Amino acid sequence: MEAFEPELRQRLIKAHPGLSESDVDKIEAMLSDRQDVDRLLDAKTARKMDAERKAFVAEKMPKLRQVMMAFDRQQQQKRAPRKPAKIRIKERPRAR
């Protein structure tokens, strides 16, 4: 998992008064560690990690999802729109 971008980190801290950089580091680490666990081979550990993460998010950053979705939308809008492909159809000469 990629680290949170600095702008996203700042938005999370702004949206959750009292949230520290170490709290953001912790949720980042939790998400990264969770991706390393194979859900099929170690389902018990995966469920435990999910529960711990959900409890942490509920306590420290209840607006996490909304902040991340708003950030993603803004990042998508910043990207240059693709130019549509120009397709030219050539007519085949008809057989005589």
Q: Are 12 and 67 in contact (CB under 8 A)?
A: yes
Residue 37 lies in a domain: yes
Residue 32 lies in a domain: yes
* Strand, coil or helix: 75: helix
Q: Are 53 and 60 in contact (CB under 8 A)?
A: no
What is the number of structural domains in the chain? 1
Residue 12 vs residues 24, 46, 49: alpha-carbon distances, Å = 8, 25, 21
Domain residue limits at 40:
6-78
pTM of the model: 0.69
The string of pLDDT tens digits covering residues 40-79 is 778 888 899 999 999 999 999 999 999 999 999 998 888 7
For residues 11 and 3, give the distance between their C-alpha atoms in angstroms, rounded to a whole number: 14
